[in-house]
Homo-oligomer: A and B are copies of this chain.
Amino acid sequence: MEKYRFHNHRLYHCLADRAFTMSGEDHHLRHLIRTNNRLTDFSAMGGGLFFDYSRQRIDAVTLALLFELADAAAVTDQFADMADGKKVNVTENRAALHMAARSFSEVPISVDGRNIKADLKSVRAQIGRFCESVHRGEITGGTDQAFRHVVVVGIGGSYLGTEFVAGALEAFADRGISLEFLSNVDIHNFGCIWSRIVPEQTLWIIISKSYTTAETMANEELIRRRMDAEGLNPSKHLVTVTSKGSPGDQDDGRGLAAFHMFDFIGGRYSVTSAVGGVPLGLYLGPERFERFLKGAEEMDKHAMEAAPTQNLPLLAALLAVWNTSFLGYSQTAIIPYASPLSKLVPHVQQLNMESNGKSVDAGGRMLDEPAGTVIFGEPGTNAQHSFFQLAHQGKAFPIDFIGVLNPQYQMNEGRFKGVGHQQELWANMLAQATALALGHESENPAKFFSGNRPSSVIVLENLEPEDVGRLLAFYEARTIYEAFIWGINPFDQFGVELGKETAGTIRSEMAAHNDNPDHDLKAVDPINRKYLQMLFSGKLSR
Contacts and interface: CB of A to CB of B under 8 A. Distances in A.
A502 B439 CA distance: 11
A441 to B, nearest CB: 11
A31 interface: no
A359 B450 contact: yes
A50 interface: yes
A27 to B, nearest CB: 18
Contacts of A424: 185, 214-215, 218, 507
A193 to B, nearest CB: 11
A140 interface: no
A188 B331 contact: no
Given A45-B540, A187-B422, 19 more contacts: A49-B540, A155-B385, A157-B385, A183-B385, A184-B379, A186-B338, A188-B338, A188-B407, A215-B381, A218-B421, A267-B385, A349-B378, A353-B386, A353-B387, A354-B389, A370-B393, A372-B394, A374-B374, A430-B531
Interface stretch (A8-16, A32-40, A106-114, A275-283): A32-40
A309 interface: no
Given A499-B428, A499-B435, A542 B43 contact: yes
Contact of A538 (B215, B406, B427, B495): B406
**Residue among A382, A413, A436, A512 with the most chain B CB within 10 A?**
A382
8 contacts: A188-B340, A190-B421, A222-B421, A331-B331, A331-B376, A357-B393, A359-B394, A431-B500
B184 A339 contact: yes
B366 A540 contact: no
A427 B222 contact: no
Contacts of A3: none
A426 B386 contact: no
B388 A496 contact: yes
B222 A510 contact: no
A187 B419 contact: no
B497 A447 contact: yes
Contacts of A34: 525
Nearest to A181: B382
**Residue among A187, A393, A498, A535 with the most chain B CB within 10 A?**
A498
A382 B499 contact: no
A18 to B, nearest CB: 22
A243 interface: no
Contacts of A155: 381-382, 385
Interface in A338-368: 338-340, 346, 349-350, 353-360, 364-366
A338 B430 CA distance: 37
A379 B538 contact: no
A409 B188 contact: yes
A390 B331 CA distance: 12
A186 B331 contact: no
A185 B425 contact: yes
Contacts of A364: 444-446
Contact of A526 (B38, B372, B411, B449): B38
* Category for how many chain A residues contact B: 35 or more
A522 interface: no
Contacts of A350: 385-387
A424 B221 CA distance: 14
Interface in A199-217: 214-215, 217
Contacts of A192: 170, 339, 409
State the copy count for this chain.
2
A64 interface: no
A456 interface: no
Contacts of A160: 386
A445 B495 CA distance: 11
A132 to B, nearest CB: 27
Contact of A187 (B50, B421, B444, B531): B421
A20 interface: no
Given A156-B386, A185-B428, A358 B506 contact: no
A354 B391 CA distance: 9
Contacts of A188: 338-340, 407-409
A448 interface: yes
Contacts of A170: 192
A417 B507 contact: yes
A374 B376 contact: yes
Nearest to A92: B446
A138 interface: no
B357 A390 contact: yes
Contacts of A145: none
A415 B436 CA distance: 53
B419 A510 contact: yes
A535 B426 CA distance: 8
Interface in A32-78: 33-34, 38-40, 43-45, 48-50, 52, 54-55
A461 interface: yes
B183 A392 contact: no
Contact of A514 (B48, B415, B430): B415
Given A418-B507, A434-B502, A405 B461 contact: no
